[in-house]
Each structure stands twice: as structure tokens, then as C-alpha cells.
Amino acid sequence: SAVISQKPSRDICQRGTSLTIQCQVDSQVTMMFWYRQQPGQSLTLIATANQGSEATYESGFVIDKFPISRPNLTFSTLTVSNMSPEDSSIYLCSVPSRPGQFFGPGTRLTVL
């Protein structure tokens, strides 16, 4: 399995600010995925980050709120913009694995 790190591991932020979460993988991958896990809920796919092209967003998620960068095959960032308390969640990145996907440790975000 790949080794995935995320920074920060957790943060507490004020309403109206933005936070950028980093995801680093130890091998080159064509696709990286960003998920949100709200308290007590399961995982919901936000978007697929493709190197060299814009991210593909799922229904209910928009680029203005969750801009994503994918500068190379081992790194991606997800920004949570203009945060509100409803954005308090765990944000996870994942990469394809055989089979399925392998998940990073997650970033626990609390918005006050």
C-alpha cells in the first residue's frame, strides 16, 4: 500500500476563514480523491483530483468552495473556503489501490 500523509492533522478555525489541506503520497498516482466525513456520518466524495487538468466535482460540491490543486503526481491540496461551522468534518484524501482505494490519515477540522 502507498504511504499517504496529510497536513495538518487537525485544526480549529474561525468562521469566514479558509484552510488548505495537503496530501502527499510516496508514489506517483494518476488520480487522488478528496472525501468529507461529517460527525457520525460516512464518507462523501468531494472531488477527484487529476494531474494536469481541473478537478472533477461531485454533485453538491463546487470549485469556489473547495478549490483543489494537483501540481504533480504525488501531491494535492484541498482548500475549504469561507468556512462555517457546518464545514466541521474530517477531510480525507485517498489514492487508487488494488482493489479499491487507500486512505490517508485525515484532517480533523473544527470551525467555530
Partner 1 sequence: GQNIDQPTEMTATEGAIVQINCTYQTSGFNGLFWYQQHAGEAPTFLSYNVLDGLEEKGRFSSFLSRSKGYSYLLLKELQMKDSASYLCSRGGGNKLTFGTGTQLKVEL
Contacting residues toward partner 1, per CB under 8 A = 31, 33, 41-45, 48, 92, 96-97, 99-106, 108
Closest to partner 1 by CB, 32 vs 83, is 32
Closest to partner 1 by CB, 28 vs 97, is 97
CB of 82 to partner 1, least distance (A): 26
CB of 99 to partner 1, least distance (A): 4
9: region left, alpha or beta (phi > 0 left; psi from -120 to 50 alpha): alpha
Q: What is the full DSSP assignment across 7-58? A: E-SEEEE-TT--EEEEEEESS--SEEEEEEE-TT--EEEEEEEETTSPPEEP
Closest to partner 1 by CB, 65 vs 108, is 108
